[in-house]
Structure 1
Amino acid sequence: MMKAKLNIIKGLGILAIVVAAFTSNAQQDPMFTQYMFNTQTINPAYAGTWESVGFMALGRHQWTGWDGAPTTYTFSIQAPLKNERVALGLNVLNDKTGLEKRFYVFADYSYLVPVSEKTNLRLGLKGGFTNYSNNLAAYTILDPGDPNFAGEIKNAFKPNFGVGAFLYSKRAYVGLSVPKLVSTTFENDMESFSVDGELRHYFLIAGAVFDMGENVKFKPTMFTKASFTSETGTPLQFDLTGNFLIKEKFWLGAMYRTGSSYGFIAQWIFDQKLRVGYAIDFTTNNMKHYSNGTHEVMISYELRFKKEEVVSPRYF
């Protein structure tokens, strides 16, 4: 037990040192309403928590009704290795806003440190790249001769890496992560314009599950994103969500994002392996007069090779 505690302290100490070694400056990462089921995108330590080979795909259409509104598609996979303490993962994300396109590919590595009989800590590393393109000359602007909109930012390739920690039991979890530690900049081929590539976001997530009766469970969750830079305009953002699990088959809940939006979430669980989720957001700022909401669809599937019966579905 003492050895496990020392490993935890050492691991978290290394994580804190790595995070503190960098400063930040860049663009916002995509947000997801179903973050509690899509944690691997922001935290590499989440890989392996399913204890099975798992796939997850999600599509998000933001501010529907607007031409060029943001669309995001993400796919992830996680798998434990024969050494049960080690798990690997992969995240692929395609994000488009107007003519601006970002394509991410990141691999995840996580290592399990048992804390107690019922509690585990996973420490994770994330590494990969972002491919960015933006046809500046195709924009309609007031001054056609503006050199800032000459040329194109095409296939700019930038590597990056991140770290994370995830402490969890069957009924509760808390995670801390920085999925992109390195600040990057993309420049056009005329060398007259540049955009910030990745912004260092600090993510803190937490959740717990409580019995509300024989067939109902309640899961409150919290998602915090911080950037601590002047470029973002919103240095700290909170998502507060409450979901009810009905008869171990159906999740239903609501979400509130500070200063931005509120929404509703539903997820169906089939045979303890297949999950299909849907979420809709409505903005609370000036965009509400022009947007028809944000829609998000998620599907996940687990491959379980062991024959023992799963008593209850996982809660996160």
Structure 2
Amino acid sequence: MKKSYLLLCFMFCCAVGAFAQQRPQYTQYMVNPFLLNPAVSGTEDYADLRAGYRKQWAGFEGSPRTMYVSAHTNIGKHLVTNNRSRSKKNGFHGIGGIITNDAIGATNTTTLSAAYSYHLKVSKKVFVSLGAMGGFNQFSLDANKLQPASQGDNLIQSQSKMGLGDITVGGWVYSDKFYFGASMAQLAPSLTFTRTGEALNYQLAHHYFVMAGYMIPLGYDFKFIPSVCIKGLTPAPLSFDINAKIRYKDFLWAGVSYRNRDAVAGMVGIIINNTFDISYSYDYVTSDIHKYTGGSHEIVVGYRLRSQGRIICPSNFW
């Protein structure tokens, strides 16, 4: 068991070239793009509440497990979109927050983040937003799950817990037909402290995301939604996801996703009474690790909290 944890921790550290784990992997980020870009906060016509659970590489002991709760809403959007007498230069605000817990082998990370965004109407149906998210990461290490070369290693014991700030910034261009956005995550300065006179410096690796999607009508009831996400992280190679969905009204959808050098995923989701939605995805791993795992599972549950009297509009992005 301890050897499995050590192998997993070693793989992740080599992949990102930094201490501890990095940002969680998501297959259904297009269901909740707010996870990757704070400028998404406030884009919908309702308060968007979501909870997600992901088990990556099922069957691999100590494999990543991620849980999150997120919420975001707009402030003053109806004044911009429903009042024809107002200038399109008047904007509105978005706010939101995310709580995430991510476990990999002996490591565990809890992140609390709050987001703010400002949205401008640049044409009849197109909006542009800029957003920022600030938070705090609490890292912990369970030394009982490790097998150090030297028993009683003081370095492991002294670094069992550590905290780091987290900053994410992003931009988003969107309408009821398309979206395009870019964000940079984990921009907080490094943490430096001393141990027995030795300076130790830890910094989270910067992450870069570019996302885009377009909604293509297929008759009256069906829509085809292709999308792409490009992910950058130094020194890891560039990765990308290519996704395709078919949506039936604002009721049911199914899709597939391809992540280069990693996995092919199938996805399905349903919306109940224009209020609740639930979606599930399964990743078939195509990398060498597929010999040791049964794939990855992810489930997302959402709730659309609407103001009384507000017109029911479908989600722009899922």
TM category, shorter: 0.7 to 0.9
Using the alignment, how far apart are the partners of 2:194 and 2:284 within structure 1?
35
Residue 77 (structure 1) aligned with residue 66 (structure 2):
no
Q: Secondary structure at the match of 2:309?
A: coil
CA RMSD of aligned residues (A): 2.5
Using the alignment, how far apart are the partners of 1:161 and 1:309 within structure 2?
35
The Cα offsets for residues 189-230 of structure 1, whole Å up to 9 and x where unpaired, read as: 789897955211111000000012232210001011112x22
| Equivalent position of 2:108 in the other structure | 101
Q: Identity percentage over the alignment?
A: 27
Using the alignment, how far apart are the partners of 2:238 and 2:124 within structure 1?
35
Q: CA deviation at 1:37?
A: 1.2
- TM-score between the two structures when normalised by the length of structure 1: 0.83
Using the alignment, how far apart are the partners of 2:66 and 2:25 within structure 1?
9
Using the alignment, how far apart are the partners of 2:301 and 2:47 within structure 1?
14
Question: Residues 313 and 201 from structure 1, CA distance in 2 versus in 1: closer, same or farther, beyond 3 angstroms?
Answer: closer
Alignment of 1:23-34 (within 5 A): 27-34=21-28
Which amino acid letter does the alignment assign opposite residue 96 of structure 2? G
Aligned partner of 2:290 among 274, 284, 288: 288
Which amino acid letter does the alignment assign opposite residue 240 of structure 2? F
Alignment of 1:103-252 (within 5 A): 103-136=110-143, 138-141=145-148, 143-145=149-151, 147=153, 150-184=156-190, 196-227=202-233, 229-230=234-235, 234-252=236-254
Q: Secondary structure at the match of 2:160?
A: strand
Using the alignment, how far apart are the partners of 2:67 and 2:216 within structure 1?
32
Aligned partner of 2:51 among 27, 45, 57: 57
Aligned partner of 1:89 among 96, 119, 122: 96
Aligned partner of 1:36 among 27, 30, 35: 30
- TM-score between the two structures when normalised by the length of structure 2: 0.83
Q: CA deviation at 1:147?
A: 4.1
Q: Secondary structure at the match of 2:42?
A: coil
Which amino acid letter does the alignment assign opposite residue 57 of structure 2? W
Q: Secondary structure at the match of 2:289?
A: helix
Q: CA deviation at 1:57?
A: 0.7
The Cα offsets for residues 120-175 of structure 1, whole Å up to 9 and x where unpaired, read as: 0011011111000113354124x234848641523312112121101000010001
Using the alignment, how far apart are the partners of 1:34 and 1:190 within structure 2?
45
Which amino acid letter does the alignment assign opposite residue 261 of structure 1? A
| Equivalent position of 1:273 in the other structure | 275
* Contact 1:152/1:188, CA 8 A, preserved across alignment: no
Q: CA deviation at 1:186?
A: 8.4
* Contact 1:154/1:188, CA 8 A, preserved across alignment: no
* Contact 1:136/1:149, CA 8 A, preserved across alignment: no
| Equivalent position of 1:258 in the other structure | 260
Question: Residues 308 and 126 from structure 1, CA distance in 2 versus in 1: closer, same or farther, beyond 3 angstroms?
Answer: closer
Which amino acid letter does the alignment assign opposite residue 213 of structure 2? G
Moved more, 145-154 or 300-309: 145-154
Structure 1 gap segments, 5+ residues each: 1-23
Structure 2 gap segments, 5+ residues each: 1-16, 80-91
Using the alignment, how far apart are the partners of 1:71 and 1:191 within structure 2?
36
Using the alignment, how far apart are the partners of 2:107 and 2:59 within structure 1?
18
* Contact 2:179/2:317, CA 8 A, preserved across alignment: no
User: When the two structures are aligned, how many residues end up with a matched partner?
Assistant: 288
